[in-house]
Amino acid sequence: MKAIVQQRYGSAEELRLIDLDPPVAGAGEVLVRVRAAAVNARDWHVMRGDPYLARLMMPANFGPRGPRRAVRGSDFAGVVEAVGAGVTDFEPGDEVYGDLREADGTFAELVAVPLGFLERKPEGLTFEQAAAVPLAGTTALTALRDFAKLRPGETILVNGASGGVGTFAVQLGKAFGASVTGVCSTRNLGLVTELGADDVIDYKRDDFTRSGERYDVVLDLVGNHALSELLRAVRPGGRLVLGGGGVSGGGRPTVFGPMALVIRAQLAARFGDKRVIPLTNVPPSPEALATLRHHLEAGDITPAVDRTFPLEKAADAIRYLEIDHARAKVVITV
């Protein structure tokens, strides 16, 4: 099978399209023929070994000189090719979607997926749309529903509203009955408005941390403000959820990267500041995928796909996300 592999840390130039032996579905696994795979900020973080701190704290992903797993990619949508022993919920021909996360390996024609990492593909979505959902959608759902516990009638500000997670957070915020303010760049104001935001702030013109406005929930997905600045935008009794951010270090691995703000948030929370909630440990979840499928089929949320690239252009896809700061989702077709 064809697959995108990487042997050592570096830029997208380290990625190669090669032939590999196809995987086999083991016990409790489903062999999926991949039709589409999304690109996430996580992919270029792992590709570059960025930040350096992650190489120490996340050994499942990061080796000393290169990623633990050679094939990149975690999100996927495709068709079941075969099932392993003990699998009764799926059969060949079923359309599925999911997120392998630390297991990686979806930038390939075939991938073996454990049962806890996939769900049936939402009806009415293309494979490209479905592949855009799992990691970003699960992160947004977990942030709003489980961490912030967003309630109807509350206000939420999403910093990074035009990114992969942000586009889902805006739509889920509306689905949960909240008033949503999105923060993005000038070129993405229209997109965030179309996604349903009640108000949109152009960060190039206005700093939401200095406007005097306060919100019940602030979801920060960028990491471009100090913790004290972000807290100025949180109402008394409100919640600040910090997702760290996927900002590139300009081609060079950083020491702390987006983890620095999350670490400070963890310290603040440990010392009793209940307003600060680090968005950490969001594992793949079939329950979250099923919930997202319900919202997708109901029309509450729609994946926003910026561009698609063929598998052989995977390096260009990652470069576009990392360097050109793509909006919404970038998807690889297989």
Summarize pLDDT for 266-296 with one digit per residue, the tens. Answer: 666 665 566 888 887 788 889 999 999 999 9
Whether pTM > 0.85 for this model: the answer is yes
SS3 content of the chain, % helix, strand, coil (to 5): 30, 25, 40
pLDDT in tens, 136-162: 999 999 999 999 999 999 999 999 999
Residue corresponding to tokens 């889902």: 168
pLDDT band at residue 258, thresholds of 50, 70 and 90?
low
> Cβ distance 147 to 219 under 8 Å?
no
pLDDT top residue among 246 and 33? 33
Task: Name the average pLDDT for the chain.
Answer: 90
Phi, psi angles (nearest 5°) of residue 82: -160, 160
Pick 265 or 321 by higher pLDDT: 321
CATH topology of domain 135-278: Rossmann fold (3.40.50)
For the chain, domain boundaries: 2-132+303-333, 135-278
CA separation for the pair 293, 301 (Å, rounded)? 9
Helix axes 286-298, 134-141, angle to 10 degrees: 90
Measured between alpha carbons, how far is 55 from 61 in angstroms, rounded to an integer?
A: 8
- Which superfamily, per CATH, for 2-132+303-333? Medium-chain alcohol dehydrogenases, catalytic domain (3.90.180.10)
| Tokens read off for 51 | 């930040």
